[in-house]
Structure 1
Amino acid sequence: MKIAETVTFGGSGLDRAAELRGKSDLLADKLTHGAPVLMIWRGKPLVAGADRDRLAWVDAKHALVPDRLDQLVFLGMDDGQPRFAADVSHWEPVEMDRESLGLFLDPSEQHPPDVPANHVFAELRLIMTRLSARDAELAATAKAVLGWHHTHGFCARCGAETQMAQGGWQRDCVTCGGHHFPRTDPVVIMLITRGNKVLMGRSPGWPDRMYSLLAGFVEPGETIEAAVRREVFEEAGIRVGRVDYLASQPWAFPSSLMFGCYGEAISDEITIDPTEIEDAIWVTREDMMQVFADTHPDIAPARKGAIAHFLLHRWLADQLD
């Protein structure tokens, strides 16, 4: 396995068993006989343990699941065992910290009924590096697909209500016959260097000291390389020459595929577009080492598990393969 495949949410090799998605009777039988279900509450997976380091599974008889049986997503086969996911966002906790729910990173946890005390719904971005590669892939898949269903209940062709099909991997319109599939938005995120320094930026509203690599959506009719050059110039006024692909990461916040790229800048002077980003700066290797040690006065370390952290770490280690 290449180093690039060890990025968080990648490298698990989950058997998605697409050939089983259309076999609704078989999947229903698996649920009847105790197939594990991962509950997702408002984007948060149910996790277990004092360190919140593994997914917690229930069966289809759990109090929050039975009225959602026709809305479950078949995630695939894990060591020969089928796995499902259920959106239980309809559940209302007795006590809920609504202010935390709106934060950039929600630290609050919710404890659903009929599970052990150490089973809670937790923000995936906060616990993603604690999960095994398989659990991380299952959680990201469940969050992304269920999130798509939440926002795509009506046909984009005729406006009629759609129905879940194919084990949760399709929505069908009975009015016009249209078929709709979970979307993934392509995003480039780029390690742009100029000699001994790397380009970093921050978006409005980010926490203090938070900087990251520049990123942006790939536009229709555009290559990855062209998107890198366009986004860097639009946001920071920097021209980029050579561009190479490094690694990719599924990013279920809400449904992107991040294409990690390396680019060589052919200009130095930064001119930001304030409608795109709040700030952009060049950071030397020496300063970036301070950032990773969390001793830099102005820049916080990139969040572990995010592809930005992965790419920066590989740059510092001279392992850009």
Structure 2
Amino acid sequence: MIYPHLRLAASPHDRLGVHRTDQDWLERRWADPASRVLVVSGTRVRPVDGVLPWVSTADAPDGVRVLLGERDGDTYWAVIVGPEAAASQEGEWYPLRGLLPGLAGDGAADAPLVFHALGLAEWHWVTRFCPRCAGTLEPRSAGHELHCTSCGRAQFPRTDPAVIMLISSGEPGTDEEMCLLGRGPQWPPGRLSTLAGFCEPGESLEDTVRREVAEETGVLVGDVTYFGNQPWPLPQSLMLGFIGRAKTTAIDIDEHEIAEARWLTRAQMREETAAGTLVLPGGVSISRSLIEHWYGGPLPGSW
């Protein structure tokens, strides 16, 4: 089975990391008429008729050039300009979250390139000064390094590991087996998802799963197995999916983290999604893949 979230990473590009410091090579590729550029204003891009416009290098504005890599023989770039560019041009500019529906559909092939571009744009946006001496930073390595002009320290993009987990209880595969879903405080009633959280320093991913579930719901988790991962630069995460088996079922929620947590059987999940009283994450998310993997097939409805 090809899980829906894997579509966002199904067409990886060659990132050409060995060429990021080769200025002659970079200039030749930039001059190639076949090269294509995604213009990013701050951390936003502007679709045209629902499609992301990859322009020629000749039509690209001045800005920070970021080498994304090569796909099907063509070189892809991003040019990062200030957020004022979006304010001065017609049309709506979207952050990555607003682009996900399109990237999951006809634009799926571009998803790895867009994730790469906007992930680096977000890093450039939040990394304005050297964290050691507050000196000025200048881009190097085709946008993949920031060099401090005062102390010489190099900064590199960071990716925060985040876990997302489907926790089950009861005899696997039986009518009595249940899975645990929760609702964030900002979500409307009926909207549920798998639990998730960030890894802390010195912590294994499996222990992160156990800690986050215990903190948010009071449920204790035993065995934890890896499921899959999904790039999620919102703003700079990698979602790592896991399946866990509960040792307890009593729920005691942390109201600062979630508003509701429920155990659901497959029958309950089927009935409530069909009725629209239970709304699950969209097919583009690893959360949906985890839920449908446990359920054993596709389910109706999404948000």
Same fold at TM > 0.5? yes
The structure-2 alpha-carbon separation of the partners of 1:206 and 1:232, relative to structure 1 and needing over 3 Å to count, comes to same
TM-score (norm 2): 0.87
Stretch of structure 1 that moved more, 279-288 or 178-187:
279-288
The residue identity in structure 2 corresponding to 1:311 is: L
CA 1:47–1:78: 2 relative to 1, 3 Å = farther
Cα separation, 2, equivalents of 1:3 and 1:126: 18
Q: 1:111 to 1:308 in 2, by over 3 A?
A: closer
Query: Is the aligned partner of 1:66 residue 2:41?
Result: no
Q: Residue 276 of structure 1 is aligned with which of 253, 257, 261? A: 257
Residues 70-106 of structure 1, C-alpha deviations (whole Å, 9 max, x = no match): x12111111121100123432144698xxxxxxxxxx
- Root mean square deviation, CA, Å: 2.6
Q: Which of 80, 84, 90 does residue 90 from structure 1 map onto? A: 84
Q: Which amino acid aligns with 2:282?
A: R
1:163 aligned residue: 138
- Partner in structure 1 of residue 18 of structure 2: 19
> Per the alignment, do residues 42 and 301 of structure 1 end up closer, same or farther by CA in structure 2, a change over 3 Å counting?
farther
Match of 1:57 in 2: 54
Q: Does 1:313 align with 2:292?
A: yes
**Partner in structure 2 of residue 256 of structure 1:** 237
Q: How far did residue 252 of structure 1 move?
A: 1.5
1:21 CA drift (Å): 0.8
The corresponding residue for 2:267 is: 286
Structure 2 distance, partners of 1:6, 1:205, is 23
The match for 2:29 is 30
Q: Give the whole-Å Cα distance in 1 for the aligned partners of 2:42 and 2:128.
A: 16
Match of 2:301 in 1: none
Tell whether 2:113 aligns with 1:138.
yes
Partner residue, 1:39: 39
Distance across 1 between alignment mates of 2:106 and 2:66: 21
Q: Is the 8 A contact 1:211 1:302 kept in 2?
A: yes
Alpha-carbon spacing, 1:141–1:302, altered in 2? closer, same or farther (3 Å): same
Q: Is the 8 A contact 1:190 1:228 kept in 2?
A: yes
User: In the alignment, which residue of structure 1 is the partner of 2:276?
Assistant: 296
| Change over 3 Å in CA distance of 1:59–1:90 after alignment to 2 | farther
* More moved, 126-135 vs 173-182: 126-135
Counterpart in 2 of 1:188? 163
How far apart, in 2, do the equivalents of 1:81 and 1:304 lie? 30
The 8 Å contact of residues 184 and 259 in structure 2, kept in 1 or not, is answered as yes
Once the 2 structures are TM-superposed, how far is the Cα of residue 197 of structure 1 from its aligned partner? 1.3
Q: How many angstroms apart in 1 are the aligned matches of 2:248 and 2:39?
A: 49
Identify the range of structure 1 (218-227 vs 205-214) with the bigger mean alpha-carbon deviation.
Answer: 205-214
Structure 1 residues 11 and 95: CA distance shift in structure 2, 3 A: closer
Q: Residue 173 of structure 2 corresponds to which residue in structure 1?
A: none
Contact 2:68–2:116 (CA under 8 A) maintained in structure 1: yes
Give 1:203 shift.
1.6
Structure 1 length-normalised TM: 0.82
What is the aligned partner in structure 2 of residue 77 from structure 1? 70
Please say if residues 238 and 266 of structure 1, whose CA atoms lie closer than 8 Å, have aligned partners that are also in contact.
yes
Could you tell me which of 215, 221, 225 is aligned with 1:234?
215
Paired position in structure 1 for 2:190? 209
> Cα deviations across residues 129-163 of structure 1 (Å, max 9, x unaligned)?
11444311111111111111110021111111111
Secondary structure (helix, strand or coil) at the match of 2:267 reads helix
Deviation track 1:1-37 (CA, whole Å, cap 9, x = no partner) reads x846962422323211111111133223322333210
Q: Show structure 1 runs of 5+ residues with no match.
A: 97-108, 113-120
Deviation at 1:287, TM superposition (A): 2.4
- The CA distance in 2 between the partners of 1:258 and 1:317, in whole Å, is 22
- CA separation of 1:43 and 1:306: change in aligned 2, threshold 3 A: farther
Q: Check if 1:224 corresponds to 2:199.
A: no
Q: Deviations over 1:189-241 (max 9, x none)?
A: 00001122111112222245322110000011111100000000000000001
SS in 2 for 1:72: strand
Q: Which amino acid aligns with 1:59?
A: S
* Aligned mates of 1:129, 1:5 — CA distance in 2: 8
Contact conserved, 1:43 with 1:123, CA < 8 A, in 2?
A: no
CA shift, 1:47, in A, is 3.6
**CA distance in 2: counterparts of 1:213 and 1:290, whole angstroms:** 18
CA contact (8 A) 1:36 1:83 kept: yes
